[in-house]
Structure 1
Amino acid sequence: MNDRISNASPALLLIAIFLISINLRPAVAAIGPLVSQILGDTGVNSTIIGFLTMIPVFLMGIGAIYVRQLRAALGERGGITLGALIIALSCATRLWLSTGAGLLVTAAGAGIGIAMVQSLMPGFAKRNFGASTGRVIGLYSTGIVAGASIAAGTAAGLASSLEWAGTLAAWSLPAVLAIVFWALAARNADSERAAPAPAAGTIPPQFWRSGRCWSLMLFFGVGTGAFMLVMAWIPPFYLEQGLDQGTAGLLLSVLTVIEAATALGVAAFIHHFPDRRGPLVFALIVTALGFGVLYSSPVEMSFLAMTLLGVGIGILFPLSIIVAIDHVDDPTTAGNFTSFVQGGGYILASFVPLLAGAVRDAMSDLSQVWLVMAAGSLLMIFLAVRYSPGSYKRFSAMLRSVSLDRGLRAAS
């Protein structure tokens, strides 16, 4: 663990990171179980529902791309605090902005807040926890899927007493609690604001010039696209299969609980796998099997499908972040690199639930979407097997070499 965290309590900081992370998906995850009520009350179609998921995820990507500017303007601590505050306000205002247009506006607000937190948190974790970053990111990812699980599992029940707008707005309360705890726990943690001047003769790396960056971006996009797809469309899909709203919400809750437990396992045991390729390939195969079962026997084997998808995505989501961080040693560069990968990945992922909504409007069925995701998961194995520990070192050395070479050419 980095000795720069000595002025802050590591345990309290971990709890604060976990509490913040819980609030990064409910604004999206609570929509799925309430789709039928939202459609009935607002008159929007499935494509608009897809936009409610697409907009926050797309903005997550834009925010990640501009992480350097965010860090310079606000610092990591301040940016995370402001992002969480925007999430809280966006959720709260859904109580009054309960039209289709209002939902789109608050989805954009939530997306901006989530983008700020997600862009800055990996670099903050790397800076403060050093060699333990993998486990911290695993815990952070566990909080993300746990928040999604709680939101999905409680949405239908809360809506019976709070109605759907009140249910969405209620998520402002845990966000406020997280902000207060974060402000206290992180006040003495190490947090960079202005980036240090590059060493003499060097210039900052240009990640977009590297094929490995684009490879990791595509990999993260497919894994995150799978995560967002099931969040948005599992309940509506099962309602179409004849299940009631409570059962459809329960299935999503089962999936996300398994995701959370699996992500927690990643946090606990990933340090035993310095070569991440084995867990990555396993996760992709299990995810593909889950989508395959969802396509072939969605009702008869519904709990098997949820279990497979929960395990596969529960490994894939945190590990795709960890693998990106593994590629770079320096905390600031690691934060910038991870944000570049996540930025493009989130933009790619944002179109998955939107296209699924368009398919549902056109075909009144999502089965073909599950089949495409199964094939995409299997294709990602060809990328995963290339992410060896040796390739991390070669990539990091290449970044340093290219940065120095361009700096020398610029100076000459």
Structure 2
Amino acid sequence: MNNTVDQRAVTWTIFAILLVALNLRPAISSIGPMLEPIRTDLLLTNGQVSLLTAVPVLCMGLFAPAAIVFNRRFGLKPSIGFLLAVIGLFTLTRGFWPTYASLLISSFFIGIAIAIIGPMLSAMIKRDFPFRTASLIGVYSFGMGLGATLAAGLTSVVYANSGWPIGLAVWSALALLAIIVWVRMPTSNPAAPQHTKEVLPLSGSPWKNRKAWYMLLFFGFQSALFFSMLTWLAPIAIDKGMTVLAAGGVVTLMTAVQIVCNISIPMLFGRFPNRFVWVLIVLGFAVAGILLLMYAATWTVWPAAAMIGVALGGLFPIALLMPLDATDSADEANSWAAMTQSGGYLISAFMPFIIGLIYDQTGNHDITLLMFLAFIALMIVFAHLLQKNA
């Protein structure tokens, strides 16, 4: 009987992690397909509208270290529950106050909430599932990818029927669902080692560790590629002659392929554990997709989006696993994840905005695509350095 109860508790915990992760992207990814309608309705420049995705990512970089403080002062479960409520509330305000100021304010607070939740989920996985980290990181990244896919695809549908404010605000429902499940989750996972505690003790700083810096830089450029694609793939598709609805479909395809790879690629790590080989494989898909966007016809945007989705789907779980592979405890994992995500998101925060400024000046995305190739080259360099220092 106890085994049945324990298994239910483990299953509920995994489901709760999935739903929390599901809320970490829709408030950002729903903006991408709506960039042009928002820009037109609010009379904004491309640089201004791109701040709506740059601001939350900047906050994710600045506030990720607060995860350690939040966990020590309030505990993991209450902290994540409260931060889910923050995401839901500020997402909802976009439907009732559809101004540029409102969108920026909501992006700021949503970014803070996402920043703190991210490292705490990694620490929770390290604590409660120390022998299944790859699988649970797959669940984590799958949830984030699924949230991005739903928002990128369905926001355009809601927009077509109700306008962009409702298209953005509707994603607050996901936060409500996650809160309902989260508050009913067991305080501690019966599958975890018995000596673990809800509040994690502080460990030594990873900021003096060279490997941690390589991880930070790798995370930064994979995140830059992800958020830049999420923000600008639809406008690139529109520039190639697609409608707003079709461009939203392209982003949906990219994120759909991504979520399949989010959960399937980590499952292969046990059989083929060499992370550097995986980095080369998935980045090969990214290069192929970007070259199609640069030189091929309009219809090739679809296969290009699928190839880029493979790359994004593999890169994110690899980046999330790096701190967990290098550490021995949830305490260390929390500190390393906070560092890599903090610095990494700071690197990536300004990329969509910079792309917007360049697009305003040039009127095309030629430089944008060259920047994507530069991100890929840098990721290969830092992955190689990590392999040498393993």
| Range of TM-score over shorter length | over 0.9
Once residues 7 and 68 of structure 1 are traced to their aligned partners in structure 2, the CA distance between those partners, rounded to angstroms, is 29
After TM superposition, which residue ranges in structure 1, 4 or more long, deviate above 6 angstroms? none
Residue 233 of structure 2: aligned partner: 234
2:172 maps to a residue whose letter is S
After superposition, the C-alpha distances for 1:47-76 in whole angstroms (9 at most, x for unaligned) are: 122111111111111221222212112222
Once residues 292 and 194 of structure 1 are traced to their aligned partners in structure 2, the CA distance between those partners, rounded to angstroms, is: 48
What is the aligned-residue RMSD (CA, Å)? 2.0
Deviation per residue, 1:328-361 (Å, 9 max, x gap) = 0111111111111111001111111111111111
Alignment partner, residue 126 of structure 2: 126
The answer as to whether partners of 1:87 and 1:113 remain within 8 angstroms in 2 is yes
Q: Against the structure 1 CA distance between its residues 129 and 195, is the aligned structure 2 distance closer, same or farther, given a 3 Å change threshold?
A: closer
Query: Could you tell me the TM-score, scaled by structure 1's length?
Result: 0.88
Structure 2 counterpart SS, 1:9: helix
1:273, CA displacement in angstroms? 3.0
- Shift in Å, 1:134: 1.4
Aligned residue in 2 for 1:30: 30
Q: CA distance change for structure 1 residues 192 and 85 in 2, over 3 Å: closer, same or farther?
A: farther
1:353-393 Cα deviation digits (max 9, x unpaired): 111111111112122111121132023212213434x945x
For structure 2, the 5+ residue unaligned runs are none
Deviations 1:121-177 (A, max 9, x none): 100111001110111011110110111111011111111222110111111111100
Q: Match of 1:341, as an amino acid? A: T
Q: CA deviation at 1:7?
A: 8.9
Q: What's 1:196 paired with? A: 201
Alpha carbons 1:94, 1:166 under 8 Å: kept? yes
- Give CA deviations for 1:211-233 in whole Å, capped at 9, x if unaligned: 22211111001101111111111
Q: What TM-score, normalized to structure 2?
A: 0.93
Residues 1:255 and 2:260 are matched in the alignment = no
Paired amino acid for 1:126: K
For the residue of structure 2 that corresponds to 1:306, the secondary structure is helix
Are the structure 2 counterparts of residues 24 and 298 from structure 1 closer, same or farther at C-alpha, using a change threshold of 3 Å?
A: farther
Residue pair 1:292, 1:374 contacting (<8 A) in 2 also: no
Offset of residue 277 of structure 1? 1.6
| Number of residue pairs aligned between Structure 1 and Structure 2 | 382
Shift of 1:188: 3.8
Give the gaps of 5 or more residues in structure 1.
198-203, 393-412
Report % sequence identity: 27
Aligned to 1:315: 314
Determine whether 1:107 maps to 2:112.
no
Question: C-alpha displacement at 1:44, in angstroms?
Answer: 1.6
Q: What's the CA shift for 1:324?
A: 2.1
Q: Secondary structure, in 3 states, of the residue corresponding to 2:251?
A: helix
Counterpart in the other structure of 1:62: 62
Cross-structure match for 1:139? 139
Number of the residue aligned with 2:353: 354
2:380 paired residue number: 381
Is structure 2 residue 99 aligned with structure 1 residue 94?
A: no
The alpha-carbon deviation at position 240 of structure 1 amounts to 2.0
The answer to whether the 8 Å contact 1:213/1:341 transfers is yes
Distance verdict in 2 for CA 1:249–1:361, change over 3 Å? same
* Aligned counterparts, 1:33-48, within 5 A: 33-48=33-48
Q: Which residue of 2 aligns with 1:366?
A: 365
Q: What whole-Å deviation, never above 9, does each CA across 1:181-211 have from its counterpart, x for those lacking one? A: 11112434378554437xxxxxx42322222
Indicate the residue corresponding to 1:328 in structure 2: 327
In structure 2, C-alpha distance between the alignment counterparts of 1:95 and 1:192, rounded to whole Å: 40
Q: How far apart are the structure 2 equivalents of 1:352 and 1:345? A: 12
1:246 is aligned to: 245
Q: Would you say the 8 A contact 1:86–1:109 is kept in 2?
A: yes
The answer on whether the counterparts of 2:211 and 2:389 sit within 8 Å (CA) in structure 1 is: no
Answering whether residue 300 of structure 2 is matched by residue 301 of structure 1, we say yes
Partner of 1:170: 170
- The superposition leaves residues 64-119 of structure 1 with CA deviations (integer Å, 9 ceiling, x where unpaired) of 12222121122221221111111000111111221111110111121112112112
Whether contact under 8 Å (2:149, 2:255) holds in the other structure is yes
Equivalent residues of 1:134, 1:322 under 8 A apart: yes
